[in-house]
Amino acid sequence: MTFDLGSVELKWQRRWRKSDVFRVDLDSERVKYYVLEMFPYPSGAGLHMGHAFNYTIGDIYARFMRMKSFNVLYPMGYDSFGLPAENAAIKAGTHPKVYTDSAIANFKVQQRALGLSYDWSRVISTCEPDYYRWNQYFFLRFFESGLVFRKAASVNWCSECATVLANEQVHDGRCWRHKDSEVEQRNLEQWFIKTTKYAQELLDCVDGLDWPERIKLMQKNWIGRSVGVTLRFDVVDESGCVVDEIETFTTRADTVYGITYLVLAAEHPKVLEYVEGTEMEAGVREFVEGVRGQSTIERTAEGREKSGMFLGRYFINPFTGERCPIWVADYALYEYG
């Protein structure tokens, strides 16, 4: 006798939907528990096996906590705001809202078919005004408190996605969505949040988390608390004439008397400016392009051989009066110092 699994699934899924069994009563006296997964991007045709794997884990955990008598809030949402959704709509030849709404509707059908126990009365889409108005609200509060600033910085850029990627989305120098698309480094003017103002507080909180040590270490590295000073140096040419001033960051101000050279990141605008019109320009440009094609993780990997080039400029150490060379190197990060 063949067991008709499909009909059994449909039977129980209809019953769950009709009885609204997973809707959460916030006034319940039971202890509240919140389970949330990363929202999917509705910029594809539908869910893939990676989604199914991730959401099955979340669903199992939510059901487990319900069985332990917790009042579990288990919602779902769709990360639908921004360029990925817009680019997908352009490829499909339709309006972003039409494409996104259709994709979300399809995702919901697939998630219901998987039997995921979400509270479907609490679904959000990040492209909806009633959601992103709060992003705008928080940004304004940050701005008013002096916690955001704007500057040019190096980013991972995928030409296929036409958007910026996080370091974690770059795998072996390629985009995680498009394996045939090499990620390049670009300088873009953008907004930053001064998370460093809260670095120590964040680090203290990480220590108290009941997380695996490797995950806690990843969080600490991401917070990246660094204590140091900013130094300004006069830049001189071969004849010793002051032609510029440059600012750099160091965590070891005590070693300033022993400075022997200064390193600029490949993305620093002064790099190409210093070699423009010189015999070094072609070589430096080639070196810079090669470095920009590497991710931050690749450039800072342990055991990796470091490389760099002299830029034909020097700086004066104000503490010793010594003239020292300025280099560009692959291990220097523009966003760091």
Q: What is the pLDDT of residues 168-190, one digit of tens each?
A: 778 777 787 777 778 877 778 88
Structural domain total, the chain: 4
Q: What is the DSSP annotation of 299-336?
A: HT-TTPPP-EEEEEEEEE-TTT--EEEEEEETT--TTT
Mean pLDDT of 283-312: 82
pLDDT band at 295 (very low <50, low <70, confident <90, very high): low
pLDDT at position 247 = 86
Residue 337 has pLDDT above 60, yes or no: no
pLDDT at position 268 = 86
Asked if 302 and 265 sit in the same domain, the reply is yes
Asked if 183 and 207 sit in the same domain, the reply is no
Residue 120 has pLDDT above 90, yes or no: yes
Mean pLDDT of 289-305: 76
- Strand, coil or helix: what is 218? helix
Domain limit, last residue, from 172, 203, 225: 225
Residue 284: which CATH number? 3.90.740.10
Contacting residues for 239 by C-beta, under 8 A, at least 6 apart:
none
Asked if 121 and 29 sit in the same domain, the reply is yes
pLDDT at position 335 = 67
Higher pLDDT, 228 or 61: 61
Domain limit, last residue, from 175, 208, 225: 225
**Domain around 162:** 146-193
Asked if 121 and 157 sit in the same domain, the reply is no
**Residue 134 resides in a domain:** no
Asked if 200 and 159 sit in the same domain, the reply is no
**Residue 141 resides in a domain:** no
Asked if 103 and 42 sit in the same domain, the reply is yes
R_g over Cα of the chain: 26
Distance CA 308, CA 329 (A): 4
The pLDDT > 90 percentage for the chain reads 43
**Residue 63 resides in a domain:** yes
pLDDT band at 252 (very low <50, low <70, confident <90, very high): confident
pLDDT at position 225 = 78
